[in-house]
Protein backbone atom coordinates (compact mmCIF):
# COMPACT_ATOMS: atom_id res chain seq x y z
CA UNK A 1 0.00 0.00 0.00
CA UNK A 2 1.38 3.48 -0.76
CA UNK A 3 3.34 4.99 2.10
CA UNK A 4 3.87 1.67 3.91
CA UNK A 5 7.40 1.37 5.28
CA UNK A 6 8.55 -2.17 4.62
CA UNK A 7 11.75 -3.68 5.94
CA UNK A 8 13.40 -3.68 9.35
CA UNK A 9 15.64 -1.00 10.82
CA UNK A 10 18.58 -3.38 10.38
CA UNK A 11 17.79 -3.87 6.69
CA UNK A 12 17.71 -0.17 6.08
CA UNK A 13 20.92 0.47 7.99
CA UNK A 14 22.76 -2.13 5.91
CA UNK A 15 21.23 -0.81 2.69
CA UNK A 16 22.75 2.56 3.47
CA UNK A 17 26.15 1.03 4.30
CA UNK A 18 26.18 -1.20 1.20
CA UNK A 19 24.74 1.31 -1.24
CA UNK A 20 21.69 -0.81 -2.08
CA UNK A 21 18.97 1.54 -0.85
CA UNK A 22 17.69 2.43 -4.35
CA UNK A 23 17.43 -1.22 -5.39
CA UNK A 24 15.73 -2.12 -2.13
CA UNK A 25 13.21 0.70 -2.46
CA UNK A 26 12.34 -0.48 -5.98
CA UNK A 27 11.75 -3.98 -4.64
CA UNK A 28 9.59 -2.72 -1.77
CA UNK A 29 7.49 -0.58 -4.10
CA UNK A 30 7.23 -3.10 -6.95
CA UNK A 31 6.92 -6.46 -5.20
CA UNK A 32 5.83 -6.17 -1.55
CA UNK A 33 2.19 -6.10 -0.48
CA UNK A 34 0.47 -5.95 2.91
CA UNK A 35 -2.03 -8.59 1.78
CA UNK A 36 -2.30 -11.51 -0.63
CA UNK A 37 -3.33 -10.68 -4.16
CA UNK A 38 -5.35 -13.19 -6.25
CA UNK A 39 -2.27 -14.84 -7.80
CA UNK A 40 -0.69 -15.25 -4.37
CA UNK A 41 -3.91 -16.76 -3.03
CA UNK A 42 -3.98 -19.29 -5.88
CA UNK A 43 -0.32 -20.09 -5.18
CA UNK A 44 -0.93 -20.69 -1.45
CA UNK A 45 -3.90 -22.94 -2.19
CA UNK A 46 -1.84 -25.31 -4.32
CA UNK A 47 1.15 -25.60 -1.99
CA UNK A 48 1.63 -28.82 -0.01
CA UNK A 49 4.52 -27.65 2.19
CA UNK A 50 5.67 -24.59 4.10
CA UNK A 51 8.74 -23.48 6.03
CA UNK A 52 7.85 -21.66 9.26
CA UNK A 53 10.10 -19.25 11.17
CA UNK A 54 9.41 -18.08 14.72
CA UNK A 55 11.42 -16.61 17.60
CA UNK A 56 10.90 -16.34 21.33
CA UNK A 57 10.91 -13.12 23.35
CA UNK A 58 14.72 -13.20 23.51
CA UNK A 59 15.09 -13.50 19.74
CA UNK A 60 16.06 -17.19 19.84
CA UNK A 61 14.88 -18.57 16.50
CA UNK A 62 13.26 -21.77 15.30
CA UNK A 63 12.66 -22.95 11.73
CA UNK A 64 10.07 -25.64 11.14
CA UNK A 65 8.35 -27.49 8.32
CA UNK A 66 4.67 -28.09 7.75
CA UNK A 67 3.04 -30.13 5.01
CA UNK A 68 -0.32 -31.50 3.95
CA UNK A 69 -2.61 -31.83 0.99
CA UNK A 70 -2.88 -28.67 -1.13
CA UNK A 71 -5.17 -26.33 0.78
CA UNK A 72 -3.82 -27.25 4.21
CA UNK A 73 -2.74 -23.59 4.36
CA UNK A 74 -6.24 -22.22 4.49
CA UNK A 75 -7.08 -18.81 3.04
CA UNK A 76 -9.50 -17.06 5.38
CA UNK A 77 -9.32 -13.83 3.39
CA UNK A 78 -6.67 -11.74 1.60
CA UNK A 79 -5.19 -10.66 4.92
CA UNK A 80 -5.53 -13.88 6.92
CA UNK A 81 -4.35 -17.47 6.56
CA UNK A 82 -4.47 -20.42 8.95
CA UNK A 83 -2.68 -23.74 9.18
CA UNK A 84 -3.43 -26.74 11.43
CA UNK A 85 -1.31 -28.09 14.27
CA UNK A 86 -1.66 -31.79 15.07
CA UNK A 87 -0.49 -33.95 17.91
CA UNK A 88 3.29 -34.15 17.62
CA UNK A 89 6.27 -34.72 19.88
CA UNK A 90 4.89 -32.44 22.56
CA UNK A 91 7.70 -29.89 22.35
CA UNK A 92 5.48 -27.23 20.74
CA UNK A 93 8.53 -25.16 19.79
CA UNK A 94 6.83 -23.00 17.17
CA UNK A 95 3.68 -22.57 19.24
CA UNK A 96 5.71 -21.73 22.32
CA UNK A 97 7.53 -19.04 20.40
CA UNK A 98 4.22 -17.63 19.18
CA UNK A 99 3.00 -17.40 22.78
CA UNK A 100 6.19 -15.42 23.57
CA UNK A 101 6.40 -13.44 20.35
CA UNK A 102 3.64 -13.41 17.71
CA UNK A 103 5.87 -12.50 14.77
CA UNK A 104 6.04 -15.27 12.17
CA UNK A 105 7.62 -15.85 8.77
CA UNK A 106 6.31 -18.41 6.27
CA UNK A 107 8.20 -19.43 3.14
CA UNK A 108 6.40 -21.34 0.39
CA UNK A 109 8.37 -22.73 -2.54
CA UNK A 110 7.12 -24.43 -5.68
CA UNK A 111 9.96 -26.82 -6.50
CA UNK A 112 8.01 -28.72 -9.15
CA UNK A 113 6.24 -26.47 -11.65
CA UNK A 114 6.95 -22.74 -11.62
CA UNK A 115 10.13 -22.74 -9.46
CA UNK A 116 9.14 -19.63 -7.55
CA UNK A 117 8.65 -18.76 -3.89
CA UNK A 118 6.41 -16.60 -1.74
CA UNK A 119 7.28 -15.02 1.61
CA UNK A 120 4.45 -14.26 4.03
CA UNK A 121 5.32 -12.35 7.21
CA UNK A 122 2.86 -11.37 9.88
CA UNK A 123 1.60 -11.90 13.39
CA UNK A 124 0.17 -15.18 14.64
CA UNK A 125 -2.25 -16.37 17.27
CA UNK A 126 -3.28 -19.85 18.38
CA UNK A 127 -6.96 -20.80 18.09
CA UNK A 128 -8.66 -24.05 19.10
CA UNK A 129 -10.12 -26.06 16.22
CA UNK A 130 -13.67 -25.89 17.58
CA UNK A 131 -13.45 -22.12 18.06
CA UNK A 132 -12.04 -21.42 14.61
CA UNK A 133 -14.64 -23.61 12.89
CA UNK A 134 -17.42 -21.50 14.37
CA UNK A 135 -16.01 -18.42 12.63
CA UNK A 136 -14.53 -20.10 9.54
CA UNK A 137 -16.98 -22.84 8.51
CA UNK A 138 -15.12 -23.77 5.31
CA UNK A 139 -12.02 -25.09 7.12
CA UNK A 140 -10.89 -28.44 5.68
CA UNK A 141 -12.64 -31.38 7.35
CA UNK A 142 -10.82 -33.94 9.45
CA UNK A 143 -8.88 -36.40 7.29
CA UNK A 144 -9.14 -40.11 8.20
CA UNK A 145 -10.38 -39.00 11.62
CA UNK A 146 -7.31 -36.84 12.20
CA UNK A 147 -8.54 -33.58 13.71
CA UNK A 148 -6.27 -30.59 14.31
CA UNK A 149 -5.66 -29.84 17.98
CA UNK A 150 -5.48 -26.17 17.15
CA UNK A 151 -4.76 -23.70 14.32
CA UNK A 152 -2.21 -20.98 13.86
CA UNK A 153 -4.01 -17.96 12.42
CA UNK A 154 -1.72 -15.46 10.72
CA UNK A 155 -2.53 -11.83 10.02
CA UNK A 156 -0.57 -10.97 6.87
CA UNK A 157 1.69 -7.90 7.07
CA UNK A 158 4.08 -8.54 4.16
CA UNK A 159 3.85 -10.79 1.09
CA UNK A 160 6.53 -10.86 -1.58
CA UNK A 161 8.24 -13.02 -4.18
CA UNK A 162 11.27 -15.24 -3.61
CA UNK A 163 13.21 -15.21 -6.88
CA UNK A 164 13.66 -18.45 -8.76
CA UNK A 165 17.34 -18.28 -9.74
CA UNK A 166 18.58 -20.78 -7.10
CA UNK A 167 15.42 -22.89 -6.62
CA UNK A 168 16.10 -26.50 -7.71
CA UNK A 169 13.69 -28.34 -9.98
CA UNK A 170 12.47 -31.39 -8.09
CA UNK A 171 10.39 -34.32 -9.27
CA UNK A 172 8.07 -35.74 -6.60
CA UNK A 173 8.64 -39.40 -5.84
CA UNK A 174 5.58 -41.57 -6.30
CA UNK A 175 4.30 -42.87 -2.97
CA UNK A 176 1.65 -45.45 -2.30
CA UNK A 177 0.74 -43.73 0.97
CA UNK A 178 1.53 -40.44 2.58
CA UNK A 179 1.77 -39.71 6.21
CA UNK A 180 0.70 -36.72 7.33
CA UNK A 181 23.67 -16.05 -10.27
CA UNK A 182 21.93 -13.49 -12.61
CA UNK A 183 20.27 -10.10 -12.24
CA UNK A 184 17.98 -10.71 -15.21
CA UNK A 185 14.45 -9.73 -14.20
CA UNK A 186 13.01 -12.46 -16.38
CA UNK A 187 15.32 -15.15 -14.94
CA UNK A 188 14.31 -14.20 -11.40
CA UNK A 189 10.63 -14.54 -12.15
CA UNK A 190 9.95 -10.88 -12.85
CA UNK A 191 6.51 -9.72 -11.87
CA UNK A 192 5.23 -13.28 -11.38
CA UNK A 193 2.47 -12.32 -8.94
CA UNK A 194 1.36 -9.31 -10.94
CA UNK A 195 2.14 -6.84 -8.16
CA UNK A 196 4.08 -4.29 -10.22
CA UNK A 197 1.57 -4.28 -13.05
CA UNK A 198 -1.35 -3.91 -10.63
CA UNK A 199 0.35 -1.07 -8.72
CA UNK A 200 1.39 0.64 -11.95
CA UNK A 201 -2.14 0.41 -13.28
CA UNK A 202 -3.80 1.71 -10.12
pLDDT in tens, 60-81: 999 999 998 899 999 999 999 9
pLDDT in tens, 21-73: 999 999 999 999 999 999 999 999 999 999 999 999 999 999 999 998 899 99
Q: What percent of the chain has pLDDT over 90?
A: 72
Burial class of residue 175 in the structure, from the number of CB atoms within 10 Å of its CB (0-12 exposed, 13-18 middle, 19+ buried): exposed
- Give yes or no for residue 142 having a pLDDT over 80: no
- The whole-number average pLDDT for the span 95-123 is 97
The residue that leads in pLDDT, 191 or 25, is: 25
Burial 133-153 (b: 16+ CB within 10 A, else e): eeebeebeeeeeeeebebbbb
Amino acid sequence: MPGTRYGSDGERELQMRCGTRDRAERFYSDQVLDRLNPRMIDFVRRMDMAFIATADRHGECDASFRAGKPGFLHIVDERTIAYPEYRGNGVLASLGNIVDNPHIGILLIDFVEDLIGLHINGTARIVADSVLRRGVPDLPPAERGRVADRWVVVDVEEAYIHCRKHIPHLVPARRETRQWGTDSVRAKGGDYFGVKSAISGS
